[in-house]
Amino acid sequence: MNFRTLATSSSFLCTYATNNIALLFTTYSCTLSSKSRRWGTNTSNLYQTRDACSSIPPEKTTIESIAESLRSNAYKKVLVVSGAGVSVAAGIPDFRSPGSGLYDNLHKYNLPYPEAIFDVDFYNQNPQPFVTLAKEIWPGVNYRPTLTHCFFSLLDKKGILSRVYTQNIDGLEAVAGVTDERLVECHGNFRSSACIKCRTPFDAKVCQSTIIDNGEAPKCNSCGGLVKPDIVFFGEVMPSRFSDLVHYDVASSDLVIVLGSSLLVSPVCHIPDWVKSSVPRLLINRDLVGTFGDGKGTDVFMQGDCDDSVRQLCRLVGWEDELDAIYASTHSQNQNDS
Protein backbone atom coordinates (compact mmCIF):
# COMPACT_ATOMS: atom_id res chain seq x y z
CA MET A 1 0.00 0.00 0.00
CA ASN A 2 1.25 3.44 -0.66
CA PHE A 3 1.47 5.02 2.73
CA ARG A 4 1.80 8.74 2.99
CA THR A 5 2.58 10.47 6.25
CA LEU A 6 0.10 12.05 8.42
CA ALA A 7 1.24 14.48 11.00
CA THR A 8 0.79 17.71 12.72
CA SER A 9 2.68 20.67 13.78
CA SER A 10 2.31 24.04 15.21
CA SER A 11 5.99 24.98 15.23
CA PHE A 12 7.11 21.82 13.57
CA LEU A 13 5.44 19.59 16.14
CA CYS A 14 4.61 16.54 14.10
CA THR A 15 2.50 13.48 14.29
CA TYR A 16 3.08 10.50 12.17
CA ALA A 17 0.97 8.11 10.17
CA THR A 18 2.03 6.14 7.14
CA ASN A 19 1.04 6.62 3.53
CA ASN A 20 2.55 4.90 0.52
CA ILE A 21 4.08 3.42 3.33
CA ALA A 22 5.26 6.87 4.09
CA LEU A 23 4.29 9.14 6.92
CA LEU A 24 2.29 12.27 6.39
CA PHE A 25 3.46 15.52 7.94
CA THR A 26 1.44 18.68 8.33
CA THR A 27 2.89 21.71 10.06
CA TYR A 28 2.16 25.23 11.17
CA SER A 29 -1.55 25.74 11.81
CA CYS A 30 -2.70 22.51 10.17
CA THR A 31 -3.80 19.78 12.55
CA LEU A 32 -4.35 16.29 11.18
CA SER A 33 -3.85 14.37 14.39
CA SER A 34 -4.08 14.98 18.09
CA LYS A 35 -0.76 13.31 18.85
CA SER A 36 2.41 15.27 18.31
CA ARG A 37 6.18 15.07 18.45
CA ARG A 38 8.86 17.59 17.70
CA TRP A 39 10.26 17.29 14.17
CA GLY A 40 13.66 18.41 15.40
CA THR A 41 14.77 21.24 13.12
CA ASN A 42 13.35 24.73 13.06
CA THR A 43 13.25 25.63 9.39
CA SER A 44 11.15 28.76 9.75
CA ASN A 45 14.07 31.11 9.11
CA LEU A 46 16.34 28.89 7.03
CA TYR A 47 14.91 29.63 3.62
CA GLN A 48 13.34 32.49 1.78
CA THR A 49 10.37 31.72 -0.42
CA ARG A 50 10.88 31.50 -4.16
CA ASP A 51 9.07 34.83 -4.53
CA ALA A 52 11.61 36.58 -2.33
CA CYS A 53 14.77 35.08 -3.82
CA SER A 54 15.06 37.06 -7.04
CA SER A 55 13.61 40.14 -8.65
CA ILE A 56 14.83 39.17 -12.13
CA PRO A 57 12.31 37.02 -14.00
CA PRO A 58 14.06 34.02 -15.60
CA GLU A 59 13.33 32.79 -19.10
CA LYS A 60 10.22 30.64 -19.37
CA THR A 61 11.01 26.99 -18.83
CA THR A 62 9.44 24.28 -21.02
CA ILE A 63 9.63 20.51 -21.00
CA GLU A 64 11.72 20.81 -24.17
CA SER A 65 14.20 23.16 -22.51
CA ILE A 66 14.50 20.83 -19.51
CA ALA A 67 15.06 17.87 -21.84
CA GLU A 68 17.72 19.79 -23.77
CA SER A 69 19.52 20.74 -20.56
CA LEU A 70 19.47 17.12 -19.42
CA ARG A 71 20.78 16.01 -22.80
CA SER A 72 23.62 18.55 -22.73
CA ASN A 73 24.58 17.71 -19.12
CA ALA A 74 23.74 21.23 -17.97
CA TYR A 75 22.11 19.95 -14.78
CA LYS A 76 24.48 18.66 -12.13
CA LYS A 77 22.27 18.56 -9.01
CA VAL A 78 18.81 17.17 -9.72
CA LEU A 79 16.63 17.08 -6.61
CA VAL A 80 13.68 14.67 -6.65
CA VAL A 81 10.61 14.63 -4.39
CA SER A 82 8.66 11.39 -4.70
CA GLY A 83 5.14 10.67 -3.43
CA ALA A 84 2.57 7.91 -3.37
CA GLY A 85 1.64 8.21 -7.05
CA VAL A 86 5.07 6.91 -8.08
CA SER A 87 4.27 3.44 -6.73
CA VAL A 88 0.68 3.09 -7.92
CA ALA A 89 1.86 1.36 -11.11
CA ALA A 90 3.60 -1.23 -8.93
CA GLY A 91 0.19 -2.21 -7.57
CA ILE A 92 0.52 -0.36 -4.27
CA PRO A 93 -2.63 1.68 -3.59
CA ASP A 94 -2.24 5.26 -2.49
CA PHE A 95 -3.35 6.40 0.91
CA ARG A 96 -6.56 8.35 0.52
CA SER A 97 -8.21 7.66 -2.85
CA PRO A 98 -11.91 6.89 -2.23
CA GLY A 99 -12.64 3.22 -2.69
CA SER A 100 -9.09 2.13 -3.56
CA GLY A 101 -6.94 3.90 -0.96
CA LEU A 102 -5.40 2.17 2.02
CA TYR A 103 -7.72 3.65 4.61
CA ASP A 104 -10.81 2.56 2.70
CA ASN A 105 -9.61 -1.03 2.68
CA LEU A 106 -8.68 -1.71 6.29
CA HIS A 107 -12.05 -3.09 7.38
CA LYS A 108 -10.72 -6.65 7.57
CA TYR A 109 -8.35 -5.64 10.36
CA ASN A 110 -11.22 -4.61 12.66
CA LEU A 111 -9.44 -1.46 13.82
CA PRO A 112 -10.90 1.12 16.21
CA TYR A 113 -9.93 3.78 13.62
CA PRO A 114 -7.96 3.44 10.34
CA GLU A 115 -4.80 5.21 11.52
CA ALA A 116 -4.44 2.74 14.41
CA ILE A 117 -2.61 0.31 12.15
CA PHE A 118 0.30 2.79 12.13
CA ASP A 119 0.01 3.91 15.74
CA VAL A 120 2.90 2.79 17.96
CA ASP A 121 0.71 2.62 21.08
CA PHE A 122 -1.86 0.47 19.32
CA TYR A 123 0.91 -1.75 17.93
CA ASN A 124 2.20 -2.29 21.44
CA GLN A 125 -1.24 -3.49 22.52
CA ASN A 126 -2.22 -5.38 19.37
CA PRO A 127 0.55 -5.88 16.77
CA GLN A 128 -1.33 -8.42 14.64
CA PRO A 129 -3.09 -6.01 12.26
CA PHE A 130 0.21 -4.39 11.25
CA VAL A 131 1.97 -7.77 11.07
CA THR A 132 -0.71 -9.01 8.66
CA LEU A 133 -0.43 -5.88 6.56
CA ALA A 134 3.38 -5.92 6.59
CA LYS A 135 3.41 -9.44 5.15
CA GLU A 136 1.57 -8.09 2.14
CA ILE A 137 3.52 -4.91 1.53
CA TRP A 138 7.06 -5.91 2.55
CA PRO A 139 9.45 -4.37 -0.05
CA GLY A 140 10.65 -6.69 -2.78
CA VAL A 141 8.26 -9.50 -1.87
CA ASN A 142 5.06 -8.73 -3.77
CA TYR A 143 5.86 -5.45 -5.51
CA ARG A 144 8.45 -4.45 -8.12
CA PRO A 145 9.91 -1.04 -9.05
CA THR A 146 8.07 1.06 -11.59
CA LEU A 147 9.54 2.81 -14.60
CA THR A 148 9.66 5.98 -12.50
CA HIS A 149 11.76 4.30 -9.81
CA CYS A 150 14.12 3.21 -12.60
CA PHE A 151 14.27 6.83 -13.81
CA PHE A 152 15.63 7.80 -10.38
CA SER A 153 18.24 5.07 -10.74
CA LEU A 154 19.12 6.36 -14.21
CA LEU A 155 19.69 9.88 -12.84
CA ASP A 156 21.94 8.32 -10.19
CA LYS A 157 23.91 6.37 -12.78
CA LYS A 158 24.32 9.55 -14.83
CA GLY A 159 25.93 11.17 -11.79
CA ILE A 160 23.47 14.08 -11.68
CA LEU A 161 21.12 12.97 -8.91
CA SER A 162 21.53 15.14 -5.85
CA ARG A 163 18.99 13.20 -3.80
CA VAL A 164 15.62 11.48 -3.91
CA TYR A 165 13.40 12.54 -1.01
CA THR A 166 10.73 9.89 -0.92
CA GLN A 167 7.61 10.04 1.20
CA ASN A 168 7.13 6.32 0.59
CA ILE A 169 8.46 3.45 2.64
CA ASP A 170 7.87 0.73 0.07
CA GLY A 171 11.64 0.66 -0.53
CA LEU A 172 11.29 0.46 -4.31
CA GLU A 173 13.82 3.24 -4.96
CA ALA A 174 16.53 1.09 -3.37
CA VAL A 175 15.29 -2.03 -5.16
CA ALA A 176 15.55 -0.13 -8.47
CA GLY A 177 19.20 0.64 -7.75
CA VAL A 178 19.25 4.13 -6.23
CA THR A 179 22.31 4.16 -3.97
CA ASP A 180 21.98 4.75 -0.24
CA GLU A 181 23.93 8.00 -0.50
CA ARG A 182 21.39 9.45 -2.94
CA LEU A 183 18.28 8.36 -1.07
CA VAL A 184 16.42 9.96 1.82
CA GLU A 185 13.52 7.81 2.98
CA CYS A 186 11.76 10.53 4.94
CA HIS A 187 9.55 8.13 6.81
CA GLY A 188 11.87 5.22 7.34
CA ASN A 189 12.22 1.81 5.73
CA PHE A 190 11.95 -1.94 6.27
CA ARG A 191 15.69 -2.60 5.96
CA SER A 192 16.33 -2.10 9.65
CA SER A 193 14.33 -2.72 12.81
CA ALA A 194 14.37 -1.98 16.53
CA CYS A 195 12.49 -2.54 19.75
CA ILE A 196 9.72 0.01 20.27
CA LYS A 197 10.38 -0.01 24.03
CA CYS A 198 14.15 0.18 24.53
CA ARG A 199 15.09 1.06 20.92
CA THR A 200 17.75 -1.67 20.79
CA PRO A 201 18.48 -2.53 17.13
CA PHE A 202 17.17 -5.90 16.00
CA ASP A 203 18.40 -8.10 13.15
CA ALA A 204 16.39 -6.99 10.11
CA LYS A 205 16.42 -10.42 8.48
CA VAL A 206 15.12 -12.06 11.63
CA CYS A 207 12.43 -9.38 11.84
CA GLN A 208 11.42 -10.05 8.24
CA SER A 209 11.27 -13.82 8.62
CA THR A 210 9.36 -13.59 11.90
CA ILE A 211 6.72 -11.34 10.34
CA ILE A 212 6.51 -12.90 6.87
CA ASP A 213 7.14 -16.59 7.61
CA ASN A 214 5.67 -16.86 11.09
CA GLY A 215 3.08 -14.10 10.97
CA GLU A 216 4.18 -12.85 14.38
CA ALA A 217 5.63 -9.68 15.88
CA PRO A 218 9.30 -10.15 16.83
CA LYS A 219 10.33 -9.82 20.48
CA CYS A 220 13.36 -7.86 21.68
CA ASN A 221 16.26 -9.97 22.94
CA SER A 222 17.14 -7.31 25.53
CA CYS A 223 13.87 -6.31 27.18
CA GLY A 224 11.22 -8.54 25.63
CA GLY A 225 9.40 -5.59 24.05
CA LEU A 226 7.87 -5.72 20.61
CA VAL A 227 10.06 -5.09 17.58
CA LYS A 228 8.96 -3.47 14.32
CA PRO A 229 10.64 -2.27 11.13
CA ASP A 230 12.08 1.25 11.27
CA ILE A 231 9.18 2.94 9.53
CA VAL A 232 7.80 5.99 11.28
CA PHE A 233 4.55 5.44 13.13
CA PHE A 234 2.37 7.97 14.92
CA GLY A 235 4.24 9.10 18.01
CA GLU A 236 7.70 8.48 16.55
CA VAL A 237 10.38 10.91 15.44
CA MET A 238 11.25 11.50 11.81
CA PRO A 239 14.71 10.16 10.78
CA SER A 240 17.48 12.74 11.27
CA ARG A 241 18.83 12.11 7.78
CA PHE A 242 16.20 14.50 6.41
CA SER A 243 17.34 17.49 8.45
CA ASP A 244 20.99 16.50 8.03
CA LEU A 245 20.84 16.80 4.24
CA VAL A 246 17.92 18.94 3.14
CA HIS A 247 19.62 22.29 3.83
CA TYR A 248 22.50 21.58 1.48
CA ASP A 249 20.37 19.86 -1.14
CA VAL A 250 17.88 22.69 -1.62
CA ALA A 251 20.66 25.28 -1.74
CA SER A 252 22.71 23.42 -4.35
CA SER A 253 19.99 22.02 -6.63
CA ASP A 254 19.73 23.20 -10.22
CA LEU A 255 16.58 21.25 -11.14
CA VAL A 256 13.70 20.02 -8.96
CA ILE A 257 11.41 17.19 -10.10
CA VAL A 258 8.28 16.40 -8.08
CA LEU A 259 6.43 13.19 -8.95
CA GLY A 260 3.22 11.61 -7.70
CA SER A 261 2.77 13.82 -4.65
CA SER A 262 -0.12 15.86 -3.31
CA LEU A 263 2.38 18.26 -1.69
CA LEU A 264 0.07 18.57 1.28
CA VAL A 265 2.23 17.19 4.05
CA SER A 266 5.07 18.95 5.80
CA PRO A 267 7.96 19.22 5.93
CA VAL A 268 8.52 17.36 2.64
CA CYS A 269 5.93 19.43 0.77
CA HIS A 270 8.01 22.57 1.37
CA ILE A 271 11.13 21.32 -0.42
CA PRO A 272 10.10 22.66 -3.87
CA ASP A 273 9.47 26.10 -2.34
CA TRP A 274 12.83 26.23 -0.55
CA VAL A 275 14.94 26.22 -3.72
CA LYS A 276 16.07 29.43 -5.42
CA SER A 277 13.52 31.10 -7.68
CA SER A 278 15.81 30.68 -10.69
CA VAL A 279 15.80 26.88 -10.37
CA PRO A 280 13.44 25.13 -12.83
CA ARG A 281 10.78 22.94 -11.21
CA LEU A 282 9.08 20.08 -13.02
CA LEU A 283 5.86 18.58 -11.65
CA ILE A 284 4.87 15.14 -12.98
CA ASN A 285 1.47 14.44 -11.49
CA ARG A 286 -2.18 13.84 -12.21
CA ASP A 287 -3.14 17.11 -10.51
CA LEU A 288 -1.64 20.56 -10.27
CA VAL A 289 -0.52 20.88 -6.65
CA GLY A 290 1.42 23.10 -4.28
CA THR A 291 2.69 26.40 -5.65
CA PHE A 292 3.11 25.02 -9.16
CA GLY A 293 -0.12 26.78 -10.12
CA ASP A 294 1.24 30.23 -9.32
CA GLY A 295 2.32 30.95 -12.89
CA LYS A 296 6.09 30.99 -12.31
CA GLY A 297 8.05 30.96 -15.57
CA THR A 298 10.44 28.36 -14.17
CA ASP A 299 7.67 25.82 -13.51
CA VAL A 300 6.57 23.05 -15.87
CA PHE A 301 3.60 20.73 -15.32
CA MET A 302 3.42 17.36 -17.08
CA GLN A 303 -0.08 16.15 -16.31
CA GLY A 304 -0.80 12.45 -16.26
CA ASP A 305 0.57 9.09 -15.18
CA CYS A 306 4.10 9.15 -13.73
CA ASP A 307 5.46 6.27 -15.82
CA ASP A 308 4.01 7.62 -19.09
CA SER A 309 5.39 11.09 -18.41
CA VAL A 310 8.81 9.79 -17.42
CA ARG A 311 8.98 7.78 -20.63
CA GLN A 312 8.03 10.87 -22.64
CA LEU A 313 10.74 12.92 -20.92
CA CYS A 314 13.39 10.24 -21.46
CA ARG A 315 12.38 9.99 -25.11
CA LEU A 316 12.95 13.73 -25.51
CA VAL A 317 16.33 13.49 -23.79
CA GLY A 318 17.38 10.36 -25.70
CA TRP A 319 17.48 8.13 -22.63
CA GLU A 320 14.56 5.83 -23.37
CA ASP A 321 16.65 2.77 -24.22
CA GLU A 322 18.74 3.18 -21.06
CA LEU A 323 15.57 3.56 -19.00
CA ASP A 324 14.10 0.37 -20.44
CA ALA A 325 17.36 -1.49 -19.87
CA ILE A 326 17.36 -0.60 -16.16
CA TYR A 327 13.71 -1.59 -15.87
CA ALA A 328 14.32 -4.94 -17.58
CA SER A 329 17.42 -5.64 -15.49
CA THR A 330 15.67 -4.74 -12.24
CA HIS A 331 12.70 -6.96 -12.95
CA SER A 332 14.90 -9.81 -14.14
CA GLN A 333 16.91 -9.67 -10.91
CA ASN A 334 13.75 -9.51 -8.83
CA GLN A 335 12.27 -12.53 -10.59
CA ASN A 336 15.48 -14.47 -9.97
CA ASP A 337 15.40 -13.48 -6.31
CA SER A 338 11.78 -14.57 -5.82
Determine the Cα–Cα distance for residues 139 and 166; give it in Å rounded to an integer.
14
Active site (annotated) includes residue 187: yes
Tell whether the torsion through CA atoms of 308, 309, 315 and 321 is positive or negative.
Answer: negative
Q: Catalytic pick from 107, 187, 270, 331? A: 187
- Among all residues, which ones are annotated catalytic? 187
